[in-house]
Structures are given as structure tokens and as C-alpha cells.
Amino acid sequence: MCSIIQGCVAPTDMGEDAPLIDNPSVREMCAWSLRCLRNACVQSPPNQQLVWNAGALDSLKQLIQLISSAPPPLQEELAACLRCAVQLLGNLISGQVKLQAPAWKEVFPRTLLSVFQCADPKASQYLCMFINMCIQSSSPSECAQQLWTSEDGYQLVETVIAMCETESEPDFSLQLLQTLIVLPDFIPSIFDHLTPPSKIILLDIVAAFLSQGHADGPFAPEAASGNADGQKESPSLPAVEFVAQVFEQEAGSIFGLVSEEEWSNIEKDKKPQLVMRLLNALCEATAHPEAKRNLQERVSLLACSLDLLERANNAGKKGNNHFTATQTLEGASAQMNPLFGFKRDLVRLIGNMCHNYTANQNKIRELHGIPVLLEHCSIDDSNPFISQWAIFALRNLCDGNLENQAVIAEMSNQGVVNNEQLEKYGFQAEWREGRMYYRSTKKK
């Protein structure tokens, strides 16, 4: 079988440069040979070693290079050969740690990039399975580090992230990224080399991964401590702290865009979307039993979040902009707002960081943040459930903290704030003798 594949990729004996694989009959024979070898290597170390010793890896490399050089679109016969070749590549090293590192050295980066270049979804997914096996071997550092220390590695990661944007089955690309994001150096090393769309997709994956690590999820502390039981670890603490650092650096830039009303470059740099994804990932991280501990100690993140909330609140009061609270937001308008839910998630982040953490409770009081949170206890369709998150945050601020409880207790009722939306519908609120009264302003 290996000899047949070697013959398929060899030049003809008739003085022509074209290999035999260009013949349709040869392509079919090559595909069936690959299928036989692929199946023979499944959970069979003797067969894997036999196929390896027969030089199958070199033949597979040549075959993939030939197929990738074919003019697009890829013909179905060649696509079948490519898929079977990549599957054989994976089955050849599956469970064989001693073969994984040598195989990686042979195929990185040229052969891997050639498969992605063919733009065949199935072959690309199978290749992600192969890469994942190499990275998960007993000594993955050398293989994995090449993905974030070279231009070819950056290109590979970009391609894998782009594959995650569209659902597919099986989704080996997502599994590969879930393996990578738990490595301490991956996100800090690769992030600045990614395009804005890829950064957004990666942060979505991180947030989804973290959301599965809550107390009742598969990534609870007892499961996240190791992989002995087959459970995956949660994203590493250095990666989460890096996300916090980037958020602190980038979040303030959105106010310049709002004040200048220059949104023409949003689709290019995706700054608001990036900030929103960073914030969402931090909200999930501060609800994660492991990641929360280190982030709660990051006072700069707490201060930054409170400052952003206050600035957003003040900006919303100055006129009709993306920070202005509204009770009549239509569904289409919500989708048009790139900062939809921004203030809600800031309140959520602050509340999470103050949960059972006295130092942060005191810090919010010292920064005069309690009145800021109280201002967000009303309905805002641009920030769904913000009032509930604000109440939850205030609860966390006052839990076991007599000083914060005293601050709220000492506040006095100053009357009713003018509510333009209430008046718009013909009602007026009045505070009399310690009670709230509503009356209609419409004449009967």
C-alpha cells in the first residue's frame, strides 16, 4: 500500500513532469490505498510502526504538496485523497508519543499550511486533530511554542480561529483552541499578532470556556486542578491577567470615538467590539472559582471598571449617544449599538470583584463608587438586567461590611428624579409623606 502511494506521487517514466496522480484512475487507487492504511493504523501500534518504517510520512508530505499545487477549485477526487491522507497522518501517530515529535518536525510548517491552503473544510478539521495530538503529547512545549514564536505559527493560528467562526462537525478546530488557551504563554504571546476579528473570536472562546468552570460545571476547582480524570483545565491565570491588562489599556479609547462621533473605522479596527469581548471574558473569569482569586487582587482593574462606569454614565447624560439610558430601544437599534450591555457588564464585573472580598468593598467606598452603582438601579434597554446586577453588586458591597451599610443608611431621600419616559406616557411621580404616588397627566 505504501509503495502504491509512493508511485502515485512519483513522476512518470515517459519524460513528463506530471505525476501519476494526475490520472483519474490513479487518484481512485491512491484514495483506496490511503483508506486501507488509515483503517489499519487504528489502535494498532504494530501497524503504525510498520507504516512509519515504510516511509509513509514522506509520501504523505509529497502527496499533500502536489494536491495543494492544483488549481482551485479542488476536484472531488483530489479532495478525497487529501482527506484520507490527513486522516492517515493523524492515525499514524495516535497514541504513539515517540512518533509525534518527529512527525511534527517533518510537517511544520509547510505541509500544515498546504492543507489549509486547499480550503477543504473536512481536511482542515482533520488536520486540527493532528495538531492537537502533537500538542497534547508528553512534551508539548516544543511543538506548541512554534505556534506563537514564528510567522508561520501566527498564520496557522489565524486559520484555525477563522474556522471556529463557522459551525462544523466534527469541530476539531475548537478542540485545538481549547487545548491552546490553557497553556500559560499562548494568549499573551499570540494576541498582539492576531487581526481584530480573530481577537474577538478568541475572546468569545475564552469566555465560553470560562463559563463552563462555574461551581456546577465540568471545570470546577476539583476538576480544574489536573487532567488525571480526563477533564480539561481552565484558561491559565497568566492568560486571564493578560486579558485584564489589555482591557485596562484599551477600554478608555471608546470614549474618544463616542465624543467625536467618528464611527467610520469601527469595522476596520473593531475597537468597541474588542472592548466588549474583553469585558465579557473578565465577567466570566471573576465568576470562575479559580481565576477570580487573582483578579480580585488586581486593584487597578477594579478602579478602572468603576471609572469607566462613571464616565459612561456621565457621557450618557450629556445627550443622545451610545451610553444614554433608554426604555424604548427597538431590537434593530440594539443590534446597531456596538456598546450594547457595556454598563451592565461593568456593574457585573464590579459586583463579582467585591464578592466576599473586604478590600475591594472598602476600595469602592473610598472611590465614592456606591452612589455610582445606585444610579444604575433603573431599567435601561441598552443594558438588559442592569438593575438586577446593580442590586447584586450592592449586596456584595454590603455583605459583612458595616461601613458600606452605614453609607447607604445615611443617605436621605431627595425627592423624585425627573423621568422623561414616564412623562412621555402621561404619568408623573410624586413623593409625599414618605410614600410614592403616581398620577396621570392626561386631561379627561
Q: What is the pLDDT of residues 302-338, one digit of tens each?
A: 999 999 999 999 988 887 778 888 776 555 555 577 8
Task: Look up the pTM and report it.
Answer: 0.86
SS (H, E, C) 250-312: HCCHHHHHHHHCCCCCHHHHCHHHHHHHHHHHHHHHHCCCCHHHHHHCCHHHHHHHHHHHHHH
Whether cis (ω within 30° of 0) applies to the bond prior to 170 is: yes
- The DSSP symbol for 118 reads T
H/E stretch holding 435 reads: strand 435-440
Q: What is the pLDDT of residues 233-251, one digit of tens each?
A: 667 778 899 999 999 999 9
User: Residue 382 carries which side chain, given as an amino acid letter?
Assistant: S
For all residues of the chain together, what is the average pLDDT?
Answer: 85
Higher pLDDT, 181 or 427: 181
d(CA 247, CA 260): 21
**Residue 231: pLDDT band by 50, 70, 90 thresholds?**
very low
Question: What's the Rg (C-alpha) of the chain?
Answer: 29
CB atoms inside a 10 Å sphere around CB 133: 24
H/E stretch holding 438 reads: strand 435-440
Q: What is the pLDDT of residues 141-177, one digit of tens each?
A: 788 999 999 999 999 999 999 999 886 777 899 999 9
Contact assessment for residue 119 and residue 72, using Cβ atoms and an 8 Å cutoff: yes
User: Residue 36 carries which side chain, given as an amino acid letter?
Assistant: C
pLDDT higher than threshold 50 for residue 219:
no
